[in-house]
Amino acid sequence: MGRPRRIQFPGACYLITLCGNNQQAIFLSNQDRRFFLTLLRDYKERHGLRVFAYCLSDDGVQLLLETSRPDLARVMQGLNTAYTKYFNRVHHTTGHVLQGRYQALLVDADRYLAELSSYVHLAPVRMGIKERPWRYLWSSCAAYVEFGSQDPLVESEPVLRRFAKNRLKQSVQYLHFIRKRLRETGGRADFPVRKGCVAEPEFIAALKPSWADEDVRATLTSTSEALEKARRILREMSGGMDEDRLLGRARWRELSSVRKAAVHRIWREAGLGVTEIARLFRRTPSAISQLIRAIELPKLKI
């Protein structure tokens, strides 16, 4: 039996679980955790993600997020690859760091967003790390329950506005909500999971007509739109130069700065992967990956 297809569409909300390969630790230091959060912020900005909640444990990550485009698979592949390269370089290891197949449950955000934010924030209790999860440093819980606390990675307002209008009251009410969920569930999952969704049957029924080929169609549409955006970027940066000359393999060293800037901007803004960019510029994926890494790594060092 094949693996179930990802359901991807603009505005889709997911509860995502990343695990270490063979249940191994993926964070060996606070520097690792800071790097991952910096990487996640970068992907949030580049792909237009909305991150509602996160929690990092030694051997995994839980995320509650929304995609603005049908590109969850591309985002997660990029995160996995970038963090693996960092981890192996810093810790002098090789091979996979994150388990290849992450879990992503499609979420009916209108009904379950607040409940799933509490599930993510109660992860330290499930792990036996903290009895008071709002004091756990490597989660977004403090941004919800501590008035005045800010986390540039997280959008707490879509959840908090369900509890009160005043920000202080929101924090207090959410803290009561977390404590209530802790008493009732001990932090365990008690939400319905049906056909890869945290949702009621009517939400799932509305998606059924597009299940069979949604992820394939979304990927094709996303790639087509990304290529068109890449072409627009090239036209902007070419300065009247013939596009074939900018993209051509011949005389790659000429116009090097323009080409590097174009590759990097397309990677950041168009949503194309390394393989597609390599095909566009008639270079190898390895060459494009090295170019991007040379520009990005200095920014991401903690």
User: What pLDDT, on the 0 to 100 scale, is given for residue 114?
Assistant: 96
Query: How does residue 215 score in pLDDT terms, banded at 50, 70 and 90?
Result: very low
**Residue 5 falls within a domain, yes or no?**
no
pLDDT band at 140 (very low <50, low <70, confident <90, very high): very high
Q: Is 272 inside any structural domain?
A: yes
Mark whether 43 and 188 lie in a shared domain. yes
**Hey, what amino acid is at 190?**
D
Query: What is the pTM (predicted TM-score) of this model?
Result: 0.75
164 against 127, higher pLDDT: 164
151 in the same domain as 34: yes
Q: Please check whether residues 24 and 103 belong to one and the same domain.
A: yes
206 and 223 in a single domain? The answer is: no
Q: Are residues 74 and 126 in the same domain?
A: yes
pLDDT tens for 129-138 read 877 898 999 9
In tens, the pLDDT along 171-205 reads 999 999 999 999 998 888 889 998 889 999 998 88
Pick 44 or 150 by higher pLDDT. 44
H-assigned helices in 108-200? 109-121, 123-126, 141-145, 157-160, 167-185
User: Which range of residues forms the domain containing residue 149?
Assistant: 13-210
How many domains, in total, are found in the chain? 2
Pairing status of strand 197-198 against strand 103-107: parallel
Verify that 136 and 158 share a domain, yes or no.
Answer: yes
Same domain, 126 and 243: no
Structure confidence by residue, pLDDT tens digits, 58-112: 999 999 999 988 889 889 988 999 999 999 999 999 999 998 778 999 999 999 9
Whether the predicted pLDDT of 275 surpasses 80? no
**Same domain flag for 188 and 294:** no
Residues 142, 283 within the same domain: no
Residues 6+ apart with CB under 8 A from 5: 211, 214, 215, 216
Same domain, 177 and 275: no
On whether residue 2 sits in a domain, the answer given is no
pLDDT class for 222, splitting at 50, 70, 90? low
Judge whether 215 and 14 are in contact, CB under 8 Å. Answer: no
Pair (53, 93) in one structural domain: yes
Q: Is the pLDDT of residue 211 over 50?
A: no
Find the CATH number of the domain harbouring 267.
1.10.1750
Among residues 188, 210, 232, which one ends one of the domains? 210
CATH, residue 151: 3.30.70.1290
278 with 150, same domain: the answer is no
249 vs 297, residue with greater confidence: 297
